[in-house]
Amino acid sequence: MLDSIISLADLDRPQLWELMELAEQLKQMRARGREVEKRLSGKSVGMLFEKPSTRTRISFEVAVWELGGHPLFLSSKELQLGRGEPLKDTARVLSRYVHCVVARVISHDTLIELDRWSSIPVINALSDVEHPCQALADLLTIREAKGELEGVRAGWIGDGNNVCHSFMLGCALSGISLTVATPAGYEPNRDIVERARALGGDIALTHDPEQAAQGADVLYTDVWVSMGQDAERERRLMDFKGFQLSDELLALASSECIVLHCLPAHRGEEITDAVIEGERSMVFEQAENRLHAQKALLYKLFER
């Protein structure tokens, strides 16, 4: 039985496999026009967002609705949180109104506090430390493309950020070997690297993007300048020079390598237009899979 998902490491390997299989089934059912069991019938899901969103908000709202529930969008600016109400008070009140909270927050500490004071499950829909729902969609996409996860070789090119952190943990749980290439000073959080390795992950770190790309079955990148980092833009663009996912870098990978990006993309910066629109790109399948992976997560969450 699942509960709050603050980190992808809150899942074990059997739970991850169950979610992957269920997500594939739900995706096939939707494609065939078959309705799924309304597991969320009579239930409401509060969606607390401190950051703008396209894929996360829409995919969660659709997932909740297709499972028979009521998604309730809650902008932190429109709640009393925006006027200084303690988070612990909001958490305890929400717990009496809704059956689950999906939270997209600025600080990971907010999630920890929200989960501490909530008597209902809390799902991390993005924080500055992790993005576990994105990683579920990433793994689902790789599994669709490769037929399996264990033994796949992946390369991460760019910033060792929140998406990278969850992808590392997902690779560790699923048996994907991962090489993370970042500029010096932009490495992933050391504690999360060690946590991934403790889960059995084959995780290598490098400052050479060509090393990460060499023979890879999957190449993954993300923006160099995330929300809230605009003041660092010029410095970051200089620091990440040479880390663009281009045709030249892709040529070093396996001939059947797929390309991933969690979107939105800054075309011409971390990835070229040619690569994201190329035949190896599965970026838009990956975006679609947010819906199916999150629907599976919600389905299992309410298996009570």
**Catalytic residue selected from 55, 57, 104, 292:** 104
Contacts of 189 (CB under 8 A, 6+ apart): 129, 160, 165
Residue pair 130/104 in contact (Cβ under 8 Å)? The answer is no
DSSP state of 268: T
Taking each helix axis from N to C terminus, what angle separates 283-301 and 13-31, rounded to the nearest 10 degrees? 110
Residue 191 annotated among the catalytic residues of the structure: no
**Catalytic residue selected from 131, 153, 236, 261:** 131
Residue 116 annotated among the catalytic residues of the structure: no
Beta bridge partners, 156, equal 180, 220
Four-residue CA torsion sign, 142, 147, 149, 150? negative
Four-residue CA torsion sign, 3, 24, 134, 14? positive
**Catalytic residue selected from 134, 244, 286, 294:** 134
**Catalytic residue selected from 222, 236, 257, 280:** 222
**Catalytic residue selected from 164, 171, 257, 262:** 262
> Where do the H-state alpha helices sit in the chain?
13-31, 55-66, 87-97, 108-117, 132-146, 162-174, 190-198, 209-213, 233-239, 247-250, 273-276, 283-301
d(CA 108, CA 59): 21
Residue 52, CB-side half-sphere exposure with 13 Å CA sphere: 5
Residue 104 annotated among the catalytic residues of the structure: yes
Residue 131 annotated among the catalytic residues of the structure: yes
Residue 27, CB-side half-sphere exposure with 13 Å CA sphere: 22
Contacts of 297 (CB under 8 A, 6+ apart): 2, 5, 19, 123, 133, 136
**Catalytic residue selected from 57, 99, 236, 290:** 290
Positions marked catalytic: 104, 131, 134, 222, 262, 290
